[in-house]
C-alpha cells in the first residue's frame, strides 16, 4: 500500500473515532467498569493480555457478522430457520434475548448503585437504597424508556446526548487520572505476554471449600471458591458474542451493501480500539492505585470503594471522586438501557418468526418484555431472601451457558456456506479467529455449567 492509499484509510479511521466514542459511552456499563477494576486490583498488570485477546476475538466476530449481514438477503434467524429449521432459529433468538435480559438486570442494579450514596443514611452507609425508593426509581426509568419506545422518541435523543456527555466526563477523568497514578510502562508491556496469575494455586475449576474454610467470623458462609472467575468475567464482558451477532442486524437497518464493508471494517476497528482502550485505562489505573495496597477485589462492592482509584487526580477533595463515579455509572447504565433491551427485542421477535425491524410493533413488544423482566429480577434480588432469588439467577445463568456457544456456532455455520464465493466469501482469517473464539466460549460454558451445578448443590 503506497502513501496515497494510506492517507484515506487514516482519515477514515480518524472520522470513525467520533462514532466509536459514542458507541463506547453506550456500551461501557457498570459491569465492564467493575470487572476491569477488580481484575486490575487483584492481578495488577499481568492480565492485560486477556483483555487484548478478548478485543481481537470481538473485532473478528463483529466484522464477520457485519459482512454476513450484507451478503445474506434475510436476517440471521430467518436464514437459520430456512436451513436448519424453526427450533434452531427459535433457540438462537431466545438465547440472545436472555443474555440481553441478564445485562438489563445489571443495568438496573447499576442505576441503584449510582444513586445509593445520595439516598443512604450517613449513619448507616451499608444499608443500601430503601426498597420503596428502588422500586420508584426503576419504575420511573423503565417507564420512561417504554414511553420513548412507543412514540416519545423526541425525548430520548436529548437525554441520550446528556448521558453520553456524563460518560465522556468520567472517561476523561480516568484518562487524566492515569498520568497522576504513574503506572509502570514496563509492567504494562510485560502484561501483554500471556502468563498465569503468580498467586494462583493451580485450581482451574470452582470448588466448594472445606467446612473450616467456609466459617467467617463465626458464621457459616455458603460460597464457591473460584480463583480465576474474574478472568472469565473479563472475557465474557469484552468478547460479547451476542453483541457481535447483532452487528448483522444493524447493517441491514443501515441498508449497507458490499461497497460499505471497507468503511464498516474501519468503524469496527475504531469501536473495539476505543472500548479496549477505555477498559485498559480502568484496569491499569486499578493496578497502579489499588493492587498491593491492601484492597482486595472482593472489597470493591460499592461506588465509593471503586472510586478510590481516582484519588491520584482528585485526592481527598471532598467526595468529588465518588460523585463523578456515580454520574458516570448512572449515565452508562441509562445509555445502554434502550440499546441492550432493543437487541433482546429484535432477536426474540426474529426468533419467533415476526418482523425484526426496529420500528415494528413485535420488536417493541419484545423489547418491553426485556425491560420489564430485567426490572422485576433486579427488584426481586433486592426484596427477596437470598435463598429465594438464587434459583432464578441459576436458571438465567444456565440458559446463558447454552446460548453463547449456539450463537458462535450459528455465525460460523452462516460464514462457511458453500454459496458464499467471490466477493461474498468470508475471509479465512475471520473464520480462523472466530473458530478459536467459539472453542473458548464452549470451554467457558462448560466451566460455567459446573458453577451452576455447585450452586444447585448449595441449595439442596
In the prediction, which pLDDT does 319 show? 66
In the prediction, which pLDDT does 129 show? 63
41-72 pLDDT, tens per residue? 888 898 999 999 999 998 899 889 988 988 99
Q: At what angle do helices 386-415 and 241-254 cross, to 10 degrees?
A: 60
Q: Please, what is the Cα angle at 135 between 399 and 160, to 5 degrees?
A: 80
Helix (H, G, I), strand (E, B) or coil at 216: strand
Q: Alpha-carbon distance 281 to 272, whole Å?
A: 14
Radius of gyration of the chain (CA): 22
Residues, the chain? 460
Residue 19 has pLDDT above 70, yes or no: no
Residues with Cβ within 8 Å of 292's Cβ and at least 6 positions away in sequence, in order, are: 44
* Helix, strand and coil in the chain, % to nearest 5: 80, 0, 20
Find the DSSP H helices in 384-422: 386-415
Q: Alpha-carbon distance 332 to 25, whole Å?
A: 6
Helix (H, G, I), strand (E, B) or coil at 131: helix
Which of 235, 242, 300 minimizes the C-alpha distance to 448?
A: 235
Q: What is the pTM of this model?
A: 0.82
3-state secondary structure 309-378: HHHHHHCCCCCHHHHHHHHHHHHHHHHHHHHHHHHHHHHHHHHCCCCCCCCCHHHHHHHHHHHHHHHHHH
In the prediction, which pLDDT does 412 show? 94
For 351, the grid coordinates are 426468533
The sign of the torsion formed by the CA atoms of 360, 361, 366, 370 equals positive
For 274, the grid coordinates are 476505543
Instruction: Please state the rounded mean pLDDT for residues 422-430.
Output: 90
Instruction: Please state the rounded mean pLDDT for residues 191-208.
Output: 72
Q: Alpha-carbon distance 226 to 458, whole Å?
A: 15
Residue 252 has pLDDT above 80, yes or no: yes
Q: Who wins on pLDDT, 170 or 179?
A: 179
Which of 345, 460, 344, 356 minimizes the C-alpha distance to 400?
A: 344
Question: Please, which pLDDT band fits residue 388 given cuts at 50, 70 and 90?
Answer: very low
Instruction: Please state the rounded mean pLDDT for residues 399-414.
Output: 81
> Which of 11-25, 98-112, 345-359 is the least confident region?
11-25
Q: Who wins on pLDDT, 118 or 47?
A: 47
302-337 pLDDT, tens per residue? 666 676 777 776 665 556 666 766 776 776 667 677
The sign of the torsion formed by the CA atoms of 333, 290, 231, 204 equals negative
Helix (H, G, I), strand (E, B) or coil at 240: coil
255-298 pLDDT, tens per residue? 778 877 777 777 777 778 877 888 898 899 888 888 877 777 77
194-202's contacts with Cβ under 8 Å and 24+ in sequence apart are 194/49, 195/46, 195/49, 197/43, 197/46, 197/47, 197/227, 197/228, 198/46, 200/227, 200/228, 201/227
Domains and CATH numbers, the chain: 16-459 (1.20.1740)
In the prediction, which pLDDT does 22 show? 47
What is the biggest distance separating any 2 CA atoms in the chain, rounded to whole angstroms? 71
Amino acid at each position: 500500500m503506497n502513501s496515497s492509499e494510506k492517507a484515506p484509510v487514516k482519515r477514515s479511521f480518524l472520522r470513525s473515532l467520533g462514532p466509536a466514542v459514542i458507541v463506547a459511552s453506550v456500551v461501557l456499563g457498570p459491569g465492564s467498569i467493575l470487572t476491569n477494576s477488580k481484575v486490575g486490583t487483584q492481578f495488577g498488570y499481568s492480565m492485560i493480555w486477556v483483555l487484548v485477546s478478548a478485543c481481537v476475538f470481538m473485532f473478528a466476530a463483529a466484522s464477520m457478522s457485519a459482512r454476513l449481514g450484507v451478503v445474506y438477503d434475510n436476517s440471521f434467524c430467518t436464514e437459520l430457520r430456512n436451513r436448519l429449521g424453526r427450533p434452531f432459529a427459535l433457540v438462537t433468538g431466545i438465547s440472545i434475548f436472555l443474555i440481553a435480559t441478564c445485562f438489563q438486570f445489571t443495568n438496573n442494579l447499576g442505576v441503584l448503585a449510582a444513586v445509593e450514596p445520595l439516598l443512604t443514611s450517613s449513619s448507616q452507609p451499608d444499608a443500601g437504597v430503601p426498597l420503596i425508593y428502588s422500586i420508584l426509581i426503576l419504575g420511573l426509568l423503565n417507564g420512561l424508556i417504554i414511553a420513548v419506545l412507543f412514540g416519545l422518541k423526541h425525548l430520548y435523543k436529548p437525554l441520550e446526548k446528556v448521558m453520553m456527555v456524563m460518560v465522556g466526563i468520567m472517561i476523561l477523568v480516568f484518562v487524566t487520572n492515569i498520568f497522576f497514578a504513574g503506572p509502570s510502562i514496563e509492567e504494562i508491556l510485560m502484561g501483554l505476554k500471556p502468563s498465569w496469575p503468580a498467586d494462583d494455586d493451580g485450581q482451574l475449576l470452582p470448588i466448594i471449600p472445606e467446612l473450616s474454610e467456609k466459617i467467617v467470623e463465626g458464621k457459616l458462609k455458603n460460597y464457591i471458591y473460584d480463583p480465576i472467575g474474574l478472568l472469565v468475567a473479563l472475557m465474557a464482558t469484552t468478547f460479547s458474542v451476542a453483541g457481535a451477532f447483532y452487528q448483522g442486524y444493524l447493517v441491514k437497518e443501515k441498508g449497507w451493501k458490499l461497497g460499505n464493508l471497507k468503511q464498516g471494517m474501519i468503524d469496527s476497528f475504531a469501536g473495539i480500539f476505543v472500548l479496549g482502550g477505555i477498559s485498559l485505562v480502568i484496569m491499569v489505573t486499578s493496578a497502579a492505585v489499588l493492587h498491593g495496597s491492601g484492597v482486595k477485589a472482593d472489597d470493591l462492592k460499592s461506588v465509593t470503594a471503586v472510586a478510590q482509584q481516582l484519588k491520584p487526580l482528585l485526592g481527598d477533595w471532598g467526595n468529588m471522586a465518588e460523585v463523578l463515579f456515580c454520574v458516570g455509572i448512572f449515565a452508562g447504565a441509562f445509555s445502554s438501557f434502550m440499546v441492550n433491551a432493543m437487541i433482546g427485542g429484535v432477536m426474540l421477535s426474529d426468533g419467533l418468526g415476526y418482523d425484526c425491524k426496529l420500528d415494528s410493533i413485535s420488536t417493541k413488544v419484545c423489547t418491553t418484555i426485556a425491560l420489564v423482566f430485567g426490572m422485576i429480577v433486579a427488584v426481586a434480588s433486592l426484596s427477596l431472601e437470598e435463598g429465594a432469588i438464587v434459583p432464578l439467577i441459576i436458571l438465567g445463568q444456565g440458559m446463558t451457558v447454552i446460548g453463547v456457544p449456539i450463537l458462535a456456532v450459528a455465525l460460523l455455520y452462516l460464514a462457511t456456506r458453500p454459496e458464499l464465493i467471490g466477493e461474498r466469501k468470508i475471509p479465512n482469517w475471520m473464520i480462523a479467529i472466530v473458530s478459536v473464539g467459539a472453542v473458548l466460549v464452549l470451554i467457558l460454558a462448560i466451566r460455567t455449567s459446573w458453577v451452576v451445578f455447585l450452586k444447585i448443590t448449595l441449595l439442596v
